[in-house]
Amino acid sequence: MLDPQARALLDLIRERGIPSTHELSPAEARKAYRDRRGYSQPAPPDVASVRDFPVPGPAGALLLREYRPAGSAPGQALPALVYFHGGGWVIGDLDTHDVLCRSLANGAGCAVYAVDYRMGPEHRFPAAVDDALAATRWILASAGALAIHPARVAVGGDSAGGNLAAAVTLALRDAGDALQPAFQLLIYPATDMRGTSASHHENGSGYLLTRDVIDYFQGHYLDATQYADWRASPLLAASHAGLPPALVLTAGFDPLRDEGLAYANALSAAGVPTQYVCFSRQIHGFILMGRIIDEANTAVRLCADVLRHHLSP
């Protein structure tokens, strides 16, 4: 059964004739995503501090947004989460995920660094992966200046951001970097660009993230010839051994449900400590919708609790 609160949202979208993302230009879709967040997202909780600052990236400066949790002292060494927003590598930004990052910072008692990575169609694959990797490396290397613990830094993201977080852990492992993430938080991640799992067929229409929207995002981000690249499809990596522990969260009425589960299973099969939780009555994107979907707040608390546990001394 679809959660009644999720059903009410889908009914409202249909009744008001709100166009689907794939019917809009990227600029229009980005604006719509930003503008609608006030309807579905809770009020932003207070944190100790927020600041935006640039860091070096592979194609120029990257903007980061740092959140320090409520109750923390200036200069206090904290665990941290490097967070990549969702939005199909085309939409979404630091503002669309501001409430979630604030909530995770406070709930987990960690600093959060949200990354404003390059997106398609202006910057196609692997630009987003390159930015995510560069930002993570910079944060790990700058732990002292940032007042964070370099051995207690997680990476995470939702949807396209979960895809980037998974790719970052694989890239850092393969490169043999001395500093590696301590944990990965993967919220309904895209892990297989081929889209052949059963959930893509079962949930491909009627549940907000449709097959048409997925095709729109992928078409603006990469070419079909790149689907098998593990940086685009982390599930297809040759090995998943030696990666950081993970929490993989999925939604039952999401086309990405099965590839999220497949990724959790691949991690577990490779000996990576992995927890998997499916909110079986939910739709893709629900974790941002705490004003109108109660289970979104439950999911945020779950993510924060698991982060706090894994990043504790």
125-183: per-residue pLDDT in tens?
999 999 999 999 999 999 999 999 999 999 999 999 999 999 999 999 999 999 999 99
Has 192 been annotated as catalytic? no
Cβ atoms of 167 and 132 closer than 8 Å: yes
Q: What is the pLDDT of residues 56-100, one digit of tens each?
A: 999 999 999 999 999 999 999 999 999 999 999 999 999 999 999
Give mean pLDDT, residues 246-273.
98
> Which contiguous run of DSSP H or E holds residue 134?
helix 127-141
What is the extent of the structural domain holding 271?
Answer: 4-311
Mark residue 163 as left, alpha or beta (left: phi above 0; alpha: psi -120 to 50; beta: remaining). Answer: alpha
pLDDT score at 74: 94
Structural domain total, the chain: 1
The token pair that represents 132 in the structure block? 């995510």
Q: What is the CATH number of the domain that holds 189?
A: 3.40.50.1820
Torsion of CA 90, 93, 99, 105, to 10 degrees: 110
Has 229 been annotated as catalytic? no
Active-site choice (3, 130, 158, 254) = 254
Q: CA 83, 152, 144: angle at the middle one, nearest 5? A: 90
The token pair that represents 107 in the structure block? 């709930």
- Amino acid at the residue 53: F
Active-site choice (103, 159, 197, 233) = 159
Cβ atoms of 95 and 293 closer than 8 Å: no
Has 254 been annotated as catalytic? yes
**Cut 0.85: pTM above it:** yes
CA 309 to chain centre: 19
Q: CA 269, 137, 172: angle at the middle one, nearest 5? A: 25
